[in-house]
Amino acid sequence: MDNLKEFVADQIKTDLPEFNPGDHIRVHVRVIEGDKERIQP
């Protein structure tokens, strides 16, 4: 279980700007399907 926590901790960004309720944010996801890769807004 500690290995999983360590892996997840390495994936989390810490340099994100602060945001508050009511702010608009954009989230993008990198999707990998086979040998293709795309950014999904």
Q: Is residue 30 within 8 Å of 37, Cβ to Cβ?
A: yes
| Local structure of 37: helix, strand or coil | strand
Q: Is residue 39 within 8 Å of 27, Cβ to Cβ?
A: no
- Residue 14 belongs to what domain range? 2-40
pLDDT at 12: 87
1-41 residue pLDDT tens: 788 888 888 888 889 899 999 999 999 999 999 999 999 99
pTM: 0.46
CA–CA distance, 41 with 27 (Å, rounded to integer):
6
For residue 20, give Cα distances in angstroms to 17, 24, 26: 10, 9, 14
CA–CA distance, 7 with 28 (Å, rounded to integer):
21
Q: How many domains would you assign to the chain?
A: 1
pLDDT at 24: 96
